[in-house]
Structure 1
């Protein structure tokens, strides 16, 4: 029973230990999935913010070049 389901080594004793181990493995797996989703969301948000910042910098550079070309410093 302790090796069923590829749960890994179980150091808990008895049937209650088997049940606790299975619950903790499931909770750990769910936590891992939640963290992976949060990581993907963070990358998406920071990537969009980075792209917006780059676009703003390009826009400001164009405005600066236009002002220099028109002679108004």
Structure 2
């Protein structure tokens, strides 16, 4: 599933992500745990947490990040 479609408060693992320098600079890595904190209405951005840091991502970028539920 994409990061944009994951459920709020769900812990997931990043399976794949686009090669975007900004994501690399923010610390997004394959295999990393990520949680969706909030999703803005009307196709707005999402706020995700990696560790104790939070980031806002545009819907278009969040849809390109593939995650799986952390078992």
TM-score, length basis structure 2: 0.15
Q: Which has the higher contact order (CA 8 A, sep 6+)?
A: 2
Bigger helix fraction: 1
TM-score, length basis structure 1: 0.15
Say which one has the larger Rg. Answer: 1
